[in-house]
Amino acid sequence: MTNHWVDIKNADLVLIMGGNAAEAHPCGFKWVTEAKAHNKAKLIVVDPRFTRSASVADYYAPIRTGTDIIFLGGVIRYLLENDKIQHEYVKNYTDFSFIVREDFSFDEGLYSGYNAEKRSYDKSSWDYERGEDGYVRTDPTLENPRTVYQLLKKHYSRYTPETVERICGTPKDKFLRVCEMMASTAGTDRAMTILYALGWTQHSIGSQIIRTGAMLQLLLGNIGVAGGGMNALRGHSNIQGLTDLGLMSNLLPGYLTLPNEPEQDFDAYIAARTQKPLRPNQLSYWQNYKKFHVSLMKAWWGDAVSAENNWGYDYLPKLDKLYDMLQAYDLMQQGKMNGYICQGFNPLAAAPNKAKLTEAFSKLKFLVIMDPLATETSEFWRNYGEHNDVDPAKIQTEVFRLPTTCFAEEEGALVNSGRWLQWHWKGAEPPGEALSDIEIMSRLFLRLREQYRKEGGAYPDPVVNLSWPYATPASPTAAELAKEYSGRALQDLADPNDPTKMLRKAGAPLAGFGELRDDGSTISGCWIYAGAWGPTGNLMARRDNADPTGIGQTLNWAWAWPANRRVLYNRASCDLEGKPYDPRRRLVWWNGKAWAGADVPDYKADEDPAKGMGPFIMNPEGVARFFARGGMTEGPFPEHYEPFENPLGYNPLYPKAQGVTSNPAARVFKGDLAAMGKVQDFPYVATTYRLTEHFHYWTKNVRLNAILQPEQFVEIGESLARELGIANGSQVKVSSNRGYIKAVALVTKRIKALTVEGKTVHQVGIPIHWGFVGIAKPGFLTNTLTPFVGDGNSQTPEFKSFLVKVEKV
């Protein structure tokens, strides 16, 4: 989230699109209720289904799955054509006036630089022009046809209300009503928040859908302000912490990145990430990359790394490719992986194309499961009749189960969607032989290190030199780890403003990432967490909910990254002089001498606004981007491509063009393209989702939840049920090109047929929660049906749009 949960109450308008917060985030949804009750806010829901969120909305519009870029691009066109944008904001805080390179082009669905064989782009032309001073060239009059503004306007001019109706199936009057409501927040006195989750991410163009939403918010001046923002409602209680700590194949903690194979040179690796400002007097905060990187390496390897060995650069793996989950299972299926450790993850249930996963796991030598429960993955080799029809005699894989504790049986911090690190305390003793994840991992590490010490091996250094300073090496405490993430001084640090003064004594905790150094004198295991356990102690454990300005800025409740800032880019809530646009919900302001406010300002207290530093401090241009430069895989402006399985067989924007039906730069592997179904055989569009009464695949082990939602079902609209002669409550078989499931049919008014390109499109809804392990009625894994293809930026699978056929059993 750019903002945070409580801040939703400040919104005048809430858009829930690509999510179903009332169902999947029922606790956080209370802030929508607060906004409606105390702020007279209106709620819009756009969803293929009339959901629990829709049932309490002021306005609901249906949409065909996977077409949100058309819808949102249509809103962008509406706002530009009707002049409903916040002029001062876009002029000063975005790249509207920047001039794009001559060799950049967009033609028939493809941007310049496409390589069809590699299915990827050379992005060098996707950039701004530079002047002789090295800075970006701009045209403040916006008349130059190569300004970002002109290119944007041209790009979305095609996304008319008629196009929206024809492609999304959303009736034109409903679409226009949504546009009008959104346009009402273009002024400085009204704000809209966007709440989204998987209905936007789980598509082969998911990241670009989210970008389109962000562009919309920029046009309306809704980023950086209270009650605004782009707010990803995250899933598991600590999934924000997972990405923060870099548990993705290409990341290091704090969104630092692993080097790629060609990056063998340390200085070049650092230089490529230390972005120089593209406009005068911009902060370009990644200029500090080396400080964060060196402090991380010192945290990991201590005295073993120094300037002489480039701070252990050779210890880091250099990526030959991404190792996301799709890549891993594809390699496994090819027999190229021997072992797999599954920690708190049930991929047989959670990953796409169960048949492919089963084949992949069957080729492993060993599979380790760290989980408090038996899962479908730990039982993948066992025959459960029709629900898991495998022959154990043909599977060689040895499965080890290491029982872990659950979150309530340990202490530590969970990071919520609003970036708050909230400390929690142990509530119960773990049962039986269960050990915490930390203890299991530590014991594995100690044994591996012992073996490497004794036997050497190809390159033992990174393992045997790992710093392991914990009081009980087999069981580091959460406090020890949290202090390491937060960081400390390794030597006495002088105050940079006054070298005669001491800033921190050797060993002392640091107050924040501003104190990190690139000379090896500080450590921090995750720079964005620096200061969470600071000189005054564990700030994550704070529980003071005082809210001095009444807008939910409880700065002494827990601790938020970065720097305890609650609303990112909050400088954008003020005009150029530093005066809040909306005096009723001020976040920060310039008092003539310093930045002050209800939030932690984006930059140094004495940064005089007259010097023109922009609010988007991470970007070298200091402003927000409509034109994504090289940032995205498939192009600088989001464009509509159809889901890989779609009901048309072509992209209605380019009915005759080949190769641009679906995202030309998606995450896709050879064999899987052949497994895509066609509309002739699988005529209905399916989407998958969750229910309040279950949490994925584990609450089917809990009797109460199993009673509340005992049996697998699929939702079918009344007109389709009539067409197929299916009665409510009868058994149906739902198949895709990859397999089938059987479930009870729930015939509902909540899913209506849509008219797309003149033809009727039926959508089928499939909840995800059932499987063959647990005490609820056994069922089929929903991911038997889903395609093995993902977004090119995030590698998230396309769970939200594929084709099925439905039959009576």
Ligand X SMILES: Nc1nc2c(c(=O)[nH]1)N[C@H]1C(S)=C(S)[C@@H](COP(=O)(O)OP(=O)(O)OC[C@H]3O[C@@H](n4cnc5c(=O)[nH]c(N)nc54)[C@H](O)[C@@H]3O)O[C@H]1N2
Which residues would be at the binding site for ligand X (CB under 6 A)?
17-20, 24-25, 46-49, 51, 63, 65-66, 68, 197-199, 202, 235-236, 343-346, 350, 370-373, 375, 404-407, 437, 687-690, 692, 694-698, 768, 782-783, 786, 799-801
Q: Which residue's CB is nearer to Mo ion, number 69 or number 768? A: 768
**Both tokens assigned to 303:** 């005295």
Q: How far apart are CB 51 and ligand X at their closest, in Å?
A: 5
199's contact among ligand X, Mo ion, none, with CB below 5 to 8 A by partner kind, is: ligand X
List, as one string, the DSSP characters of 77-91.
Answer: HHHHHTT-S-HHHHH
Q: How far apart are CB 452 and ligand X at their closest, in Å?
A: 25
310's contact among Mo ion, ligand X, none, with CB below 5 to 8 A by partner kind, is: none
Per-residue contact string for residues 193-232; x = within reach of Mo ion by CB under 5 A: ----------------------------------------
Distance CA 39, CA 207 (A): 31
* Residue 437 burial by Cβ neighbours in a 10 Å radius (0-12, 13-18, 19+): middle
Q: How far apart are CB 797 and Mo ion at their closest, in Å?
A: 11
Stretch that binds Mo ion, among 234-242, 459-467, 481-489, 507-515 (CB under 5 A): 234-242
Q: Which residue's CB is nearer to ligand X, number 161 or number 787? A: 787
Binder of Mo ion out of 62, 73, 228, 235 (CB under 5 A)? 235
Q: Which residue's CB is nearer to Mo ion, number 198 or number 435? A: 198
Q: Give the torsion sign (CA, 384, 386, 388, 394).
A: positive
Q: Which residue's CB is nearer to ligand X, number 108 or number 757? A: 757
Q: Which residue's CB is nearer to ligand X, number 374 or number 679? A: 374
Q: How far apart are CB 198 and Mo ion at their closest, in Å?
A: 7
**Which residue is nearest to ligand X, using beta carbons?**
235
User: Cα-flanking dihedrals φ and ψ of residue 125, to 5°?
Assistant: -80, -10
Distance CA 571, CA 615 (A): 5
DSSP H/E element including 736: strand 731-736
Instruction: Label each residue of 647-704 as H, E or C.
Output: CCCCECCECCCCCCCECCCCEECHHHHHCCCCCCCCCEEEEEECCCCCCCCCHHHCHH
270's contact among ligand X, Mo ion, none, with CB below 5 to 8 A by partner kind, is: none
Contact status: 352 vs Mo ion (CB under 5 A): no
Backbone φ/ψ region at 229: left (φ over 0), alpha (ψ -120 to 50), beta: left
Distance CA 215, CA 627 (A): 9
Distance CA 700, CA 6 (A): 31
**701 within 8 A of 373, measured Cβ to Cβ:** yes
Q: How far apart are CB 219 and ligand X at their closest, in Å?
A: 19
Q: How far apart are CB 648 and ligand X at their closest, in Å?
A: 15
20's contact among Mo ion, ligand X, none, with CB below 5 to 8 A by partner kind, is: ligand X
DSSP code at position 604:
-
User: Cα-flanking dihedrals φ and ψ of residue 572, to 5°?
Assistant: -70, -5
Q: Which residue's CB is nearer to ligand X, number 701 or number 719? A: 701
CA dist list (Å): 785 to 487, 531, 586, 709, 788: 46, 46, 49, 21, 10
Q: How far apart are CB 356 and Mo ion at their closest, in Å?
A: 20
697's contact among Mo ion, ligand X, none, with CB below 5 to 8 A by partner kind, is: ligand X
Contact status: 161 vs Mo ion (CB under 5 A): no
Instruction: Label each residue of 252-273 as H, E or C.
Output: EHHHEECCECCCCCHHHHHHHH
**172 within 8 A of 70, measured Cβ to Cβ:** no
Give the pairing type, strands 13-17 and 42-46. parallel
Distance CA 97, CA 90 (A): 9
DSSP H/E element including 196: strand 192-196
Q: How far apart are CB 25 and Mo ion at their closest, in Å?
A: 11
Q: How far apart are CB 797 and ligand X at their closest, in Å?
A: 7
Q: Which residue's CB is nearer to ligand X, number 349 or number 490? A: 349
Q: Which residue's CB is nearer to Mo ion, number 240 or number 661? A: 240
Q: Which residue's CB is nearer to ligand X, number 409 or number 718? A: 409
Q: How far apart are CB 793 and ligand X at their closest, in Å?
A: 16
Distance CA 213, CA 193 (A): 10
Q: Which residue's CB is nearer to Mo ion, number 705 or number 796? A: 796
371's contact among ligand X, Mo ion, none, with CB below 5 to 8 A by partner kind, is: ligand X
**Which residue is nearest to Mo ion, using beta carbons?**
235
Q: How far apart are CB 235 and Mo ion at their closest, in Å?
A: 3
Q: Which residue's CB is nearer to ligand X, number 199 or number 635? A: 199
Which residues bind to Mo ion, rule: CB under 5 A?
Answer: 235
